[in-house]
């Protein structure tokens, strides 16, 4: 039997499967650092820089949830949607014909899922008949083992290479299934998509931590409650200033 490492669990989706233990014989993967605050620069009129927020502090599980993120967007723009779980199966909108596309239209779309384990990301994709790019999918392809944790850097560099290949091939719809908790974890996907002329959309699973903990506890491969709480503190809702052209918020029914 393979001995389990006693090292601390990994809480960053950018370096591997969140909540998994890193082997003691593997150097810690390099994690890119993107400071939240940048020097003040002149911005063209009509543009705004992303709002910076102080780092979250640990909150006891019994403490009330913070106020929900609000997205101020004029009605009828199509840039914001609100969904409720569960939802009837649906499919992405059809790609416009070449004659219908304007010169300014994006080549396609990259959709980032954002949310804690147990928030319903996998179910959301399954109901739409979508197979997203995901670390679990790659582990099965590369190692025939979804729980293989020794090669985190290889898994996620391959994931980014797969998205790049799809963009080169001009695939119209591209989905990335990861927690994408922080702004800097999302930035690399957004930068790549925009460099190819693709529009980036976010699907934010605004599900209470208590619901995620309950769902996670029923899984065969669950993340520890302590790790889940640390991840919840890192989670920042997406905002348009990051570069998203559309944000869809998915919530559970009767969520406070």
Which pLDDT tens digit goes with each residue over 165-197?
999 999 999 999 988 999 998 999 999 999 999
Phi, psi (degrees; rounded to nearest 5) at 165: -65, -40
Its pTM stands at 0.65
Cα–Cα dist 202/209, whole Å? 20
Of 205, 111, 223, give the one whose Cα is nearest residue 163.
111
Cα–Cα dist 93/128, whole Å? 11
Task: Give 84's strand partners.
Answer: 251
Instruction: Find the length of the chain.
Output: 256
Strand, coil or helix: 89: coil
What is the arithmetic mean of pLDDT over 110-132?
93
Give residue 248's pLDDT band: very low, low, confident or very high (50, 70, 90): very high
pLDDT in tens, 72-115: 776 667 788 888 775 544 455 565 554 455 667 789 999 999 99
């Amino acid at each position: 039997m393979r001995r389990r490492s006693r090292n601390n669990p990994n809480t960053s989706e950018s370096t591997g499967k969140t909540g998994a233990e890193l082997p003691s014989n593997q150097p810690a993967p390099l994690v890119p650092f993107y400071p939240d605050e940048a020097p003040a620069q002149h911005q063209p009129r009509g543009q705004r820089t992303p709002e910076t927020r102080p780092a979250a502090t640990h909150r006891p599980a019994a403490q009330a949830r913070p106020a929900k993120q609000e997205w101020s967007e004029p009605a009828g723009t199509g840039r914001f949607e609100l969904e409720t779980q569960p939802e009837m199966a649906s499919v992405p909108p059809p790609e416009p014909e070449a004659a219908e596309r304007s010169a300014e239209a994006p080549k396609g779309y990259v959709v980032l899922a954002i949310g804690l384990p147990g928030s319903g990301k996998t179910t959301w994709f399954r109901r739409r008949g979508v197979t997203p790019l995901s670390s679990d999918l790659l582990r099965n392809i590369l190692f025939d083992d979804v729980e293989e944790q020794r090669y985190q850097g290889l898994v996620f560099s391959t994931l980014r290479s797969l998205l790049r290949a799809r963009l080169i091939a001009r695939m119209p719809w591209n989905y990335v299934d990861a927690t994408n908790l922080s702004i800097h974890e999302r930035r690399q996907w957004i930068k790549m998509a925009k460099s190819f002329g693709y529009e980036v959309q976010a699907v934010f699973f605004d599900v209470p931590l208590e619901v995620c903990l309950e769902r996670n506890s029923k899984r065969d491969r669950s993340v520890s409650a302590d790790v889940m709480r640390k991840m919840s503190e890192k989670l920042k809702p997406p905002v348009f200033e990051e570069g998203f052209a559309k944000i869809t918020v998915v919530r559970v029914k009767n969520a406070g």
